[in-house]
Amino acid sequence: MSLPVEDLECPVCCDIFTDPVLLSCSHSFCRECVRLCWETSGSRECPMCRKRASKAAPTTNLALRNLCETVLEARRESSSTEEKEKEKEKEKEKELNCGLHEEKLKLFCLLDKQPICVVCYLSKTHKNHDCSTMEEAVVNCKHELSTTLTSLQEKMDSLKRIHTNSNDTIDYIKKQALKTQQEIKAQFEQLHQVLHRDESERLAALKREEDEKIAGMRDKVGEILEEMFSLEECFNILESELNADDMSLLMNFKATQDRCSSLPLGPVNMSGTLIDVSKHLSNLKYSIWENLNDHLEYTPVTLDPNTAHPYLILSDDLTSLYYSGLSYGCPDNPERFQMSAEVVGMNALGSGSHHWLVETGSNRDWLLGVTSVSAPRNVDISARPENGFWTLCYRDGEFRAMTSPPTALSLATEAHVSRIKVQLDYNNGTLCFFDCSGDDTLLYTFESTFTEMLLPYFYTRSQHPLRVLPENVIVTALRNEVSKHVK
């Protein structure tokens, strides 16, 4: 609770107390005021009640002094604030006046975008400049700034969306990298298994041959030992006969000679006893590659997952697609089709001849063909040549070439078409579609002059997959025949 200012004034000087003292009669005065009063009157009496004060020095009224100092400080701050406000008002008045002519600013130059005074308007500086009143300028400038603010807000909202999408893209990149790493490992593991199996079979064949050769040599060693034993017996008999008397030698001569002549004295056949190393090592890497070839698949067209509509599901090997109807959380990158369930192949085609075979199976809603690399992907347009699309459509049980307008196609047979071959001859400007379910029946041919790179194109709204079929890989070795001429 604050006291009235009158209660804080000294009764002698009628001003705020300065170093107030408290007399025994409970009256307060400034220390200097009460001293002057006592000196003037010659007695130590209270200036108000005339009660005689004690001879001791009057005590300081601490509570009253603190309160007075607070009031004085508040007055000083108030005075300083008022001075600042006055200075601001003066500065504002100066701002409202022309800095060159000190005239009041009443006009706004539309060319220089600044307030001017009448003298400025008549001077050479702003001669022939369009001007408006300050009131009109305020309205126009506010409208312009408001428009700018709206534009900045839209940019800010766009940047926020990009920021959010960027963070989502980082998470998606990590998932992509992990999934791709797993697929790479899986495919290498398949190759490792083939190589390990081939290695085991080749080592087993070598082991079998080693065992067979060693067993054969052991049989030969046994035969040689038997022959050596027989020869040793014959050698002993001959020595014995040679040391016998003449009559005994002659009587046993025929038997001894027959026994010695019955022994096989020819050379031992040692051909084919060694391991056929060349059979195991000759062109070993090439033989391994030929064996791998039986386990390899080459698909002429693989799909680009970064272009697939969010509702499309692609296989791990990027050769098939189907429509799920649910988004799997892919980012909104510029390459992706956003309006329709479309996807394109990885490699752009700019020259030469190309073909790929698509298994449509039970799918009853698809488009196949090619599209130019610059065809828009974030707008809903028809897949027709004027928009950069050359496609064949199958929908509602009918085939249509997507010309302008579409061309209905009638098939010679009513058999279900389950395989479509797309054949592009870029240089000659033709795109052909064939029914490869049976015979390669030509369905339709587009003729055009292609002016930019093309991408294989796929569309479907069916949960039955479209699949690009692999082709056979043929490995051949080129052997150069060198003829030598001897002179």
Convert the pLDDT of each residue in 416-463 to its tens digit. 789 999 999 999 999 999 999 878 889 999 999 999 999 999 999 999
56 confidence band (pLDDT: 50, 70, 90): confident
Average pLDDT of the residues of the chain: 87
**Cα(455)–Cα(389) distance, rounded to whole angstroms?**
10
Long-range interactions of 229-237: CB distance < 8 A, separation 24+? 230/263, 231/263, 234/259, 234/260, 234/263
Q: Are 243 and 308 in contact (CB under 8 A)?
A: no
* pLDDT for res 265: 59
| Backbone phi, psi, residue 269, to 5° | -80, 110
So what's the pLDDT on residue 92? 66
Q: Tell me: the pLDDT tens digits for 228-244?
A: 888 888 888 888 888 88
The residues, any chain, with a CB within 8 Å of residue 234's CB and separated by 6 or more, are 259, 260, 263
Confidence category of residue 69, pLDDT binned at 50, 70, 90 = confident
Rounded distance between C-alpha atoms, residue 191 and residue 199, angstroms: 12
pLDDT above 80: residue 266 = no
The distance in angstroms from the start CA to the end CA of the chain is 135
Reference 375, options 457, 466, 446, 430; nearest CA is 457
Q: How much is the pLDDT for 268?
A: 65
Q: How far apart are CA 417 and CA 415, in angstroms?
A: 6
Instruction: Tell me the C-alpha to C-alpha distance, in Å, between residue 123 and each of 92, 97, 253, 356.
Output: 25, 16, 160, 79
Q: Residue 207 to residues 202, 272, 276: CA-CA distances in angstroms?
A: 9, 16, 12
In Å, what is the CA distance from 334 to each residue of 56, 165, 307, 480?
96, 12, 8, 51
Q: How far is CA 319 from CA 221, 347, 395, 397, in A?
A: 62, 13, 22, 25
pTM for this predicted structure: 0.62
Residues in the chain: 487
Give the Cα-Cα-Cα angle 76, 77, 79 (nearest 5 degrees).
65
151 or 223: which leads in pLDDT: 151
Mean pLDDT for 252-259 is 83
Cis amide linkage into residue 405, ω under 30° from 0: yes
Model confidence at 473, pLDDT cuts 50, 70, 90, reads: low
pLDDT digits (tens, 9 = 90+) for 206-223: 999 999 999 989 988 888
Can you tell me the mean pLDDT for 192-217?
93
Lowest mean pLDDT among 115-119, 167-171, 466-470, 471-475: 471-475
